[in-house]
Structure 1
Amino acid sequence: MLLEEFDSNRNAVINAFDIIQPIKNIPPIAVSCFSRITFDRLLKELNGVPIASTGTANMDIPIYKVIYNGIEMALFMSYVGAPGCIAILVDVFAMGIEKIVLFGTCGVLDAGIKDCSIIIPNAAVRDEGTSFHYAPASDEIKVNIKYQDEFIEILNRHKCSYTVGKVWTTDGCYRETREKVNKRKENGCICVDMECSAVAALAGFREKEVFHFFYAADNLDNDEWDARSLANSANVLDKDRIALLAMELATKLM
């Protein structure tokens, strides 16, 4: 099968480091999210200064320098979906970033998980294609091997509810059928996203550190889908606080 043809050669025909030059004095630690509104509000709050740029064929993605609690960090918005997300992360790694705190929404497969509460994935089901180019074929991949304890300490200090468990990562956001949802729940998944397993595979392959967490959004654990706070404009203040939790964790990665 095609997805079992993993090639461990670290050099490809086209490599990001062939076309992207390292950025002098770029912070080694970065924070990134997927929500435009959350990103813009965080950028404004921290007075971000542009230092570099990458992008896709139809989108520019600026990279900013910010200072949080006296520590310089990079800040950029990630692309939604595993292939685009990984392409952007590969670019910023080539620029010199070594560690990333990445956060975004996920759908919950357990209605008991509260809206906007934190989910820390410790494993991901690989129901996407990108990860198979960065790690040998398998059904699952470990996630967030490092920094879980540090993040949980931050969450406890801020009295934030959280859940640790397995995520289902899928490219087919409109193909999450009831049968598939039930099967993934039987496999132990508590939520669903579109990037996590690919991000974990990339981090392992390129020997970088990425801590990837979610905040709960839409609920798939009902007879009918419930969007809850999935929209970027929903529960903005709660999402602002979540963004600051990511910044707090980034200070622990130094």
Structure 2
Amino acid sequence: MTEAAPPPIVRRRAHAAPSVFQPQNLLREARRQKGLAVVAMPQVCVLDPDGDLVRRLTQAGRAHRDPSWACYHTDLHRTQLGGREIGIVGCAVGAAFAVLVAEQLFASGCELLISVTSAGQLAAKGAPPYFVLIEKALRDEGVSYHYLPPGDFSAAPLHLLQALEGAFDGLTQTVHLGAVWTTDAPFRETADDIDAMVARGLVAVEMEAAGLYAMAQARGRDVVCFAHVTNQMGQAGDFEKGEADGVTDSLAVIQATIARVQALGAGRVDARAQQR
């Protein structure tokens, strides 16, 4: 019996080769078709897969849609946080969608990208909700294999993890450091799979981090991913995020991240602005 060949996604070669289709090309054509001027996006942007940040901030009049954002698939909202303007893109769920948007954000002036996504609890760090600063993510999705050779994990940029040590100590909501499982199929999280992930020391399951970190490594970008652990796989009473759908706590985590990266000069935030 002939042994089955590995699936095409892990047979890819030349990961360092440039892509023919570039994000700036997509943005250029979107601007042409929509009659948009070239406007730089905020240097700090946030991915908000659940959309709670965008909904709450727009309802409160604290965020407004940027009509110059040229992405075909999403809206970008601008808001003020800690005296800095940031951009927020809501409802980009899953690694493929998140990385599609992230590439366009970085091509549009973003220097630091922060993702805050809902996650399911694997290993208990307490009763949800709480946050996990994702140090690495198991690559059980497809996007990361287009950016990096096969391997088990995508890791956060080390300089950012080092910069964020102790950054959240004064917050009301706990922020743990841990590894997660990134999946493309949330409704295929079987009991055997969950047991295997817990045995590997993974603390939560989400849908974006492995792809985002692989892109960050391949492109030399600054990306920080947080899992907002809000549920225990859909048990009764799950998905409670806390005050204002978790927006208050999420903004506190985001603001602390930005402040520390700025203070220590760990990322590229502001550095390129000074060079322009």
Pick one of 38, 50, 64 that aligns with 1:35: 50
Normalization by structure 1: what TM-score? 0.85
Instruction: Give the match for residue 243 of structure 1.
Output: 250
Instruction: Give the match for residue 63 of structure 2.
Output: 47
- Structure with more relative contact order (C-alpha pairs < 8 Å, separation 6 or more): 1
Instruction: Give the match for residue 272 of structure 2.
Output: none
Gap change, CA 1:159 and 1:19, over 3 Å in 2: closer
Q: Is the 8 A contact 2:54 2:90 kept in 1?
A: yes
Distance 2:127 2:186 in 1: 21
Q: Residue deviations 1:108-139, cap 9 Å, x none?
A: 11234321111111111100111000111101
Distance 1:52 1:252 in 2: 29
CA shift, 1:47, in A, is 3.4
Q: Is the 8 A contact 1:120 1:214 kept in 2?
A: yes
Q: How does 1:50-89 map to 2 (within 5 A)?
A: 50-55=66-71, 60-89=73-102
CA shift, 1:79, in A, is 0.9
Normalization by structure 2: what TM-score? 0.79
**Superposed structure 1 runs of 4+ greater than 6 Å apart:** none
- Count the aligned residue pairs: 245
Distance 1:236 1:39 in 2: 15
Q: Residue deviations 1:148-200, cap 9 Å, x none?
A: 35545342112432322110111111111000110111111111011110010
**Are 1:183 and 2:196 counterparts?**
yes
Distance 1:166 1:207 in 2: 21
Gap change, CA 1:40 and 1:210, over 3 Å in 2: same
The sequence identity of aligned pairs, in percent, is: 20
What residue ranges of structure 1 are gaps of 5+ in the alignment? none
**Are 1:135 and 2:141 counterparts?**
no
**Greater CA radius of gyration, 1 or 2?**
2
Gap change, CA 1:51 and 1:152, over 3 Å in 2: farther
**Are 1:172 and 2:180 counterparts?**
no
CA shift, 1:27, in A, is 1.9
Q: Is the 8 A contact 2:63 2:79 kept in 1?
A: yes
